[in-house]
Structure 1
Amino acid sequence: MAVKELAFDTDARKALLAGVEKLAAAVKSTLGPRGRNAVLDKSWGGPTVTKDGVTVAEEIELRDKVENMGAQLVKEAASKTSDDAGDGTTTATVLAEAIFRAGLKHIAAGVDANALVRGIRKSVEGVVAHIESMATPVKDKVAAVATISANNDTAIGKIMAEAFDKVGKDGVITVEEGKGLETYVDVVEGMQFDRGYLSPNFVNDAEKMMVVLEKPLILVYEDKIDSVSKLVPLLEKVVETKKPLLVIAEDVTGEALSTLVINKLRGVLQVCAVKAPGYGDRRKAMLRDIAVLTGGEAIMKDVGIELDKVTLAQLGTAKKVEISGDNTVVIEGAGSTKSIQERIAQIRAEIDLTDSDYDREKLQERLAKLAGGVAQINVG
């Protein structure tokens, strides 16, 4: 069993404060537009240069165990701020140090710790309310804010502002290595997921090797489709409408896939089949997102509806769907605004409840696809 180091009363408080001050000293030097960069040593590769508070904080481990506990307390506050707001980690560190130091002075003077905590919480409520009343929307100053965050690099600030302007506050901004010398913003229009056509025989734009379906009907089906007998009744109904068909399912194989390909090649039906995105419970959620966006119904396994019983009313639709070998983009789904907003509210609630950074990231991606969009910054 590992030996535990014990510290009590004044000795413990002094050591904790020392840890808090050491971490804060490293982090607060990066604060504000005139903040200085920190250089972080890495166990692999070259050093990292940054003025992001939480990045600096995460690299700090102190030799003294009690001091390190103090540093970890402030590090946790900075990380929580980053998760909730996406910024403000350095300010959170400065405030945490100030509150901790002032609190220890009152405790040393004999103030009850529990009463002190209640007072701090009550004061925080008043301060937050006052700050919110002073808040000014920065809709027209996004470039300035982004420039400050980018170490006063105006070029990066303008690119970030362009991306934010295109996808809005609910959108997602990703950064990828570009193939050219210039840095530019590429916006994905509509809902995109990383699944392409199941057969190149579905392609109707040979030049781009893509499938483009105008105002298609969209089947959202959770299970695998391999039975021709169950697929044919639905195909007959769709053919009568003279509209294209997009099939999104766990998989389409064997005779079912062959039937779709033959109908396409013979000119009977413009059709394409793609695998459903995601896995497990996330797949179910994404299928429901697609159904809400397109105004259709997600035919799930637990509902008990057989494929041959699916009606045209249960199919969704969109202005256009573009499918490549790797991706599918649904543009201007026909779902009702009310249903989409309700789905968005549900996803936001899930984001607030989750403790997993990975789950939060995936939920935010789903939110962006429904509410805003995805802007990709290609760095040259």
Structure 2
Amino acid sequence: MTSLLRPTLGPLPRSVLIRPIVGNGSPEILDHAATIARRVIELPDPFENAGAMLLRHAVWRVYERVGDGCATTAVLSAALLREVLRVAEAGWSISQLERVLEQVWHCVRANLLEHAKTDISFDQLHAVIQRAVYDPVLARLLSEAVDAVGPEGVVLLEEGVSADPTCVYEEGIVWDSGVLSPIWLQAPDGCCRVHEPRILLLDGAVTKGVELLPFLERCLASNIRRLVIIAGEIRHDALALLVRNGERGVFEQIVALQAPSVGWQQQEILEDLAALTGGFVVHCNGGESLSASSIAVLGRARHVWATLRHFGILGGHLDRERVRARLRAARAALARADDAYLRTKAQERIARLTGVTARLQVGGAVPREREARRLVAESAVKTAQAALSGGLVPGGGATLLGIARELRALPMRADPCEVAIRNAFGTALTEPIRVILTNAGIEPGRVLAEADRCPTAAFDVLRQSWVDPWLEGLLDPVQVIDTAIETAVSIVRMVLSTGALIHRTWPAVAAHP
């Protein structure tokens, strides 16, 4: 697995050709490490396959977290495992090796964070994206989008029909859910708009008109003539009652919208909407009665628009304390999320609570090209947001080389196991820059020999010279490097603690005549 991902490391990557599983079509040409890892389904040798699947899973988790660093993770894992196994041959116990490895890793992480620069300029952010995308137009659009939405905002990436990428910034807050009846979409553009509405939020289904009628009468008594209802479900008599009230002019405007998502996620979104509009959710599923609710539960907004598939709220009368509390809850959910879907949903909630969203369309001549460009753009967005969150360090393997140099310079201690692991870690940290140089056709020995004379510089393989990384934009996000090292250590510890592998074979089933 590592040999497949090594060629993709660095600014001059080599490609990997993967033939289709079915048929004799043209091979897929890839230089994206995460995608290559996902294309590996099974190796012929069952025991080699176990290690490959372990690395495949780890690499994909790195991609989901920070978008980059997948090839670095594979290279570091293989190098660190090789060096630690050499140390293990000296006879130290596995538990001792794991304990010392953990200590040295924490030392490496502290050293990494000391080198980080958190005050990032737009040019530095653009440099990080430019090196990930290679397309100057797309890189500029992505840089502007990430800079606008911030580290926790959402850049929605879609496949476009045009070869040129486009980016649209959506004002206010938009959800992927629309009106419950197309009868409200009478405008030529198929969009319903309500100005200065009051907003009713319902958790649950409403099917009978008598459940809505008392509340609607209280709205009319309070001179509320423009009402937007966002509910889990409104159907049958209840929906017909709303339509008739609108058609007869009882209300100037009355619209029912489908609440986004389902289940507990829908409940979270409704609570977010309540905080953003200054209203409260009526929990019909929780036993609360809509007919007994007062108009104090209604929220406010400057403008609400809706189509069959989307709705947006502009100028909500938000409750800032509640919004801050909902943001804390959403960030906690993001920290707990253990898969890409949950992380995406948490990030979308955060973006909507902060009110900034960018929608970017990436096109191409054929579907395969559009999908490849979208994946590269998605990776670049994650990497750039990781940079905004955790800061930047010199790239091109320079930071890892500097940490390895500082590990060797640490004072010697009485524990020979610690010294051995420290040396093993230092040797492994030099492996990424060796691979970057090799992929660029440069002899690593010469460059590494010059490294001690250029401790604050980084070697740029494009220019084939030592440069100031902060001036030239040769930078890596701290979170990418930290995640790669953490994952490599985790893989090594798992291998060290594995005592046996069991391969299951299934008996062949004889076919009946």
TM-score (norm 2): 0.65
- Give the secondary structure class of the aligned counterpart of 2:11: coil
Provide the C-alpha distance between the structure 2 equivalents of 1:374 and 1:166, rounded to a whole number of angstroms.
8
Query: Which amino acid in the other structure matches residue 25 of structure 1?
Result: S
In the alignment, residue 261 of structure 2 is paired with which amino acid?
Answer: G
Aligned partner of 2:21 in structure 1 is: 43
Counterpart for residue 323 of structure 1: 306
Percentage of pairs with the same residue: 31
Residue 273 of structure 1: CA displacement? 0.6
Partner of 2:90: 109
Distance in 2 between residues matched to 1:53 and 1:180, nearest whole Å: 27
Distance 1:312 1:139, change over 3 A: farther
Is residue 77 of structure 2 the alignment partner of residue 86 of structure 1? Answer: no
* Residues 1:187 and 2:165 are matched in the alignment: no
Matched, 1:26 2:9: no
1:2-36 deviations in whole A, cap 9, x for unaligned? xxxxxxxxxxxxxxxxxxxxx22221221122222
Indicate which of 206, 209, 218 corresponds to 1:237.
218
Runs of 5+ unmatched residues, structure 1: 1-22
Q: Which residue of 2 aligns with 1:268?
A: 250
CA deviation after TM superposition for structure 1 residue 335, in Å: 2.2
Q: 2:38 aligns with which of 34, 47, 58?
A: 58
Per the TM alignment, residue 179 of structure 1 is displaced from its structure 2 partner at its CA by 3.9
CA deviation map 1:297-324 (0-9, x unaligned): 1112343221111212111222211111
Q: CA deviation at 1:81?
A: 2.0
Partners of 2:198 and 2:227 within 8 A in 1:
yes
Structure 2 residue aligned with 1:69: 50
Q: Deviations over 1:223-247 (max 9, x none)?
A: 2223333322222332324452111
Tell me the TM-score normalized by structure 1.
Answer: 0.86
Q: Partners in 2 of 1:358 and 1:32 — Cα distance?
A: 29
Secondary structure of 2:104's counterpart equals helix
CA separation of 1:364/1:162 partners in 2, compared to 1, >3 Å: closer, same or farther?
A: same
Counterpart residue type for residue 65 of structure 1 = P
Shift of the 180–53 alpha-carbon distance from structure 1 to 2, 3 Å rule, reads: closer
RMSD over equivalenced CA pairs, Å: 2.3
Contact 2:284–2:290 at 8 Å: present in 1 too? no
Matches within 5 A, 1:61-210: 61-137=42-118, 138-140=120-122, 141-150=124-133, 152-203=134-185, 206-210=187-191
- Aligned residue for 1:305? 288
Give the drift of 1:188. 2.8
Per the TM alignment, residue 101 of structure 1 is displaced from its structure 2 partner at its CA by 0.6
Q: Which amino acid aligns with 2:73?
A: A
The answer to whether the 8 Å contact 2:205/2:284 transfers is no
Matched letter for residue 47 of structure 1:
P
Give yes or no for contact 2:170–2:358 (8 Å, CA) kept in 1.
yes
- Distance in 1, Cα, partners of 2:167 & 2:310: 19
Q: Which runs of 5+ in 2 are unaligned?
A: 364-513
Partner residue of 2:276 out of 283, 289, 293: 293
Q: Write the deviation string for residues 134-192 of structure 1: whole angstroms up to 9, x where unpaired.
A: 11244412222112111x22122112112212322212223223244532012333332
